[in-house]
């Protein structure tokens, strides 16, 4: 007599289960991210606030120089620069550290059974905590230069949610690719450094003249624009929200397909 054994779950089913379980383990990846920061600044008196001090020095130094180069008044340029650098710090670090999502957790992955997605959330949450320290600079600068804040500033909440979601799929995708090909992390780091100079972070969009309208086609600028513009009392550029939404949907779908296919190999790659 033959028994009908149930068919094994598909790779897509296992990937969805991994993602769902990863989200449910908030207590785990939040504790791991907090521990990462504590270990990074162990023995330091100020801890992660050293990053805040570094950001203040960078804003002051760049603000004095580039405000004159771009013929902008300091009260307009410094808030623009501060918000841009704070958001860029989160975006760029999530990308570069995303390459180490699984490589840095090699011992945990090979010894403890847990969802792979936990490590991606760990990267995102860790950098959100770091950004929270740097965000303290923004209200101080805006108060110092009396920047008016309207009700449109509330839109930064969904904007930050989208940034976190994008950081999640980027961490998984780059984490898998970097685990398979170890020369990817330095390539990504160099690419991010180049993007910093060609994205309107420290220079105003108006500086490129008629090319200003195509700037939101750069997803990294769109990510910054949807946060910075409302805080400055302005509307994001026309294509910033659509580009960010499209990148979020396409990135999540593409990464899920990769994750479902290559998830069983991650432990062997590292």
Mapping DSSP to helix (H, G, I), strand (E, B) and coil, where does residue 209 land?
Answer: helix
Between 85 and 38, the more confident residue is 85
**pLDDT tens figures, 114-157:** 889 999 999 999 999 989 888 888 888 888 887 777 778 889 99
pLDDT band at 2 (very low <50, low <70, confident <90, very high): low
Between 3 and 11, the more confident residue is 11
Whether pLDDT at 51 is above 80: no
Long-range contacts of 148-157, Cβ-Cβ distance < 8 Å, separation of 24 or more: 148/233, 149/231, 149/233, 150/230, 150/233, 152/230, 152/233, 152/235, 153/230, 153/231, 154/230, 155/226, 155/230, 156/226, 156/227, 156/230, 156/231
| Residue 151 buriedness (CB in 10 A; 0-12 / 13-18 / 19+) | exposed
User: Which of 166, 239, 245 shows the shortest CA–CA distance to 205?
Assistant: 239
pLDDT at 111: 85
pLDDT at 157: 93
Whether pLDDT at 43 is above 70: no
Between 148 and 219, the more confident residue is 219
pLDDT at 5: 64
Full DSSP string of 18-85: HHHHHHHTHHHHHHHHHHHHHHHTTT-SSTTHHHHHHHHHHHHHHHHHHHHHTT--HHHHHHHHHHHH
User: Which of 169, 163, 166 shows the shortest CA–CA distance to 224?
Assistant: 163
pLDDT at 59: 84
pLDDT at 140: 87
Distances (CA, A) of 138 to 78, 145, 194, 227: 10, 11, 25, 12
Whether pLDDT at 80 is above 80: yes
Q: At what angle do helices 156-180 and 219-231 cross, to 10 degrees?
A: 150
Report the distance separating Cα 13 and Cα 9, nearest Å.
6
Q: Position of tokens 């190999």? A: 265
Between 58 and 191, the more confident residue is 191
**Helices and strands counted in the chain (H then E):** 12, 0
Please give the radius of gyration of the chain, using alpha carbons only, rounded to the nearest integer: 21
| Residue 44 buriedness (CB in 10 A; 0-12 / 13-18 / 19+) | exposed
Compute the average pLDDT of residues 150-173: 92
pLDDT at 119: 93
pLDDT at 178: 94
pLDDT at 6: 67
Compute the average pLDDT of residues 211-232: 89
pLDDT band at 3 (very low <50, low <70, confident <90, very high): low
Distances (CA, A) of 19 to 83, 131, 142, 267: 32, 24, 39, 16
Give me the chain's average pLDDT, please: 87
- Inter-residue contact 182 to 45 (CB < 8 Å): no
Distances (CA, A) of 261 to 5, 13, 233: 24, 11, 45
Compute the average pLDDT of residues 252-263: 93
């Amino acid at each position: 007599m033959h028994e009908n054994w149930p068919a094994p779950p598909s790779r897509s089913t296992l990937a969805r289960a991994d993602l769902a379980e990863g989200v449910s383990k908030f207590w785990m990846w939040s504790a791991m991210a907090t521990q990462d920061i504590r270990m990074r600044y162990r023995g330091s008196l100020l801890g992660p606030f050293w990053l805040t001090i570094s950001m203040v020095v960078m804003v002051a130094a760049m603000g004095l120089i580039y405000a004159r180069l771009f013929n902008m008044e300091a009260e307009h340029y410094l808030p623009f620069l501060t918000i841009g650098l704070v958001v860029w710090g989160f975006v760029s670090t999530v990308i570069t550290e995303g390459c180490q999502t699984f490589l840095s957790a090699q011992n945990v992955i090979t010894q403890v059974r847990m969802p792979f997605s936990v490590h991606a959330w760990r990267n995102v949450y860790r950098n959100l905590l770091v950004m929270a320290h740097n965000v303290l600079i923004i209200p101080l600068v805006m108060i110092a230069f009396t920047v008016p804040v309207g009700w449109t500033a509330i839109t930064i909440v969904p904007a930050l949610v989208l940034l976190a979601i994008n950081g999640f799929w980027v961490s998984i995708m780059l984490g898998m690719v970097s685990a398979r090909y170890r020369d990817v992390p330095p390539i990504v780091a160099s690419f991010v450094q180049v993007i910093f100079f060609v994205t309107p972070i420290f220079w105003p969009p108006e500086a490129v003249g008629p090319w200003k309208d195509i700037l939101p086609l750069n997803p990294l600028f769109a990510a910054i624009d949807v946060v910075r513009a409302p805080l400055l009392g302005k509307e994001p550029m026309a294509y910033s929200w659509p580009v960010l939404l499209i990148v979020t949907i396409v990135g999540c779908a593409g990464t899920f397909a990769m994750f479902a296919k290559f998830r069983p190999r991650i432990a062997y790659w590292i």
